[in-house]
Amino acid sequence: MTIISDSQFADFLTNSPLYFKLKAVQNFKNGEGNYSHFLDFENKAFKFRCPVEEEVQTFRTKLTGHAGMYGRRIYQDHDMDELPMFFDNKTFKLDLIVHIHGICQSCKKNIEFLLKATSDKSWEERDSGITILLQKIGQFPGYDIEPEQILQKYLTAEDVSNYKKALTTLSVNYGIGAYAYFRRIIENEIKRIIKDFSELEFDGVENVRQAYRNFESDHQMAKLIDVVNKYLPNSFKDLGDNPIRLLYEQLSGGIHQFSEEECIEKAKFIDVLLKYVIKKVNEEKYQIKEVREAMLKLRGNGS
């Protein structure tokens, strides 16, 4: 039986939009601690933006009385031929809704989640292995569709709009739509990302700058990407691959050759890479600007 880690559950609470389905348990047959009982959701730590303090704090989950009502897990002293607690009497599938309070460990402010746990198979089919799925069906404060501030500042107005649409379509599990919006953002922004990349300071950057000047004449993005791939600063080399190239490669091939689930995964991976590249380029440009300004001021003071 494979069960998600506490850190994966924490990420689910913090970052998953409403109605996104998470595989919490795979090959579930018998056992405890498997997201099929209220107690499995108790006292879990996660990070969240506190609505009172307006900054990210550590929260812990607290149940709303269910733990007292159902103090035993379903498998303690249970006849395995009988339908366990929280499995529907008609479908024989898991159907559990849990109301969770998240308690800020700093100010004790409450936030709330409504989670639903379901199974893909009936209890009678457990010998072949059951998958338990989690959905966040309610949240207060609500899930924030807004992109991070650094993205809102960096992206064009059109692509901020595309980014919001990508997050919205992800929130309803429309993977093809989300993937399409992220590809459009890459297509629109890749040129500017590489231009900003060429303004950094690293070994071989002059080759990147010359390749960018050539691109402005011949418009051959593939050639430009090849040069960028040869000359990476150490902060990118440490990743073992070139995230800029990987982003660009997402523009090749048709969207509809992938399933909804595959598109959801690809959209999430693009989101991670896009945020990393933009943050890294912005951060290094800002540092270079600060250093140059400091050097100019020191020269001015010394003359």
CA distance 38 to 32: 11
Q: Is the pTM for the entire model greater than 0.95?
A: no
Q: 297 and 170: one domain?
A: yes
Q: 134 and 29: one domain?
A: yes
Q: 14 and 105: one domain?
A: yes
pLDDT band at 229 (very low <50, low <70, confident <90, very high): confident
Report yes or no: 238 and 153 within 8 Å, Cβ to Cβ.
no
Question: Tokens 């231009």 appear where?
Answer: 195
pLDDT band at 106 (very low <50, low <70, confident <90, very high): very high
Mean pLDDT, range 45-62, rounded to an integer: 91
- List CB contacts of 213: < 8 A, sequence separation 6 or more: none
* Boundary of a domain, candidates 102, 120, 140: 140
pLDDT over threshold 90, residue 67: no
Q: What is the pLDDT of residue 284?
A: 79
Q: 153 and 136: one domain?
A: no
DSSP states of 24-93: EEEEE-S-SSSSSSGGGGTT-EEEEE-TTT-SEEEEEEEESSHHHHT-S-TTTT--TTSPPTTB-TTT-S
How many domains are contained in the chain? 2
pLDDT digits (tens, 9 = 90+) for 13-28: 988 878 888 999 998 8
Mean pLDDT, range 33-37, rounded to an integer: 81
Q: What is the pLDDT of residue 76?
A: 44
* Boundary of a domain, candidates 92, 120, 140: 140
Q: 253 and 279: one domain?
A: yes
Mean pLDDT, range 102-119, rounded to an integer: 94
**What range does the domain containing 89 cover?**
2-140
Q: What percent of the chain has pLDDT over 70?
A: 91
Q: 157 and 179: one domain?
A: yes
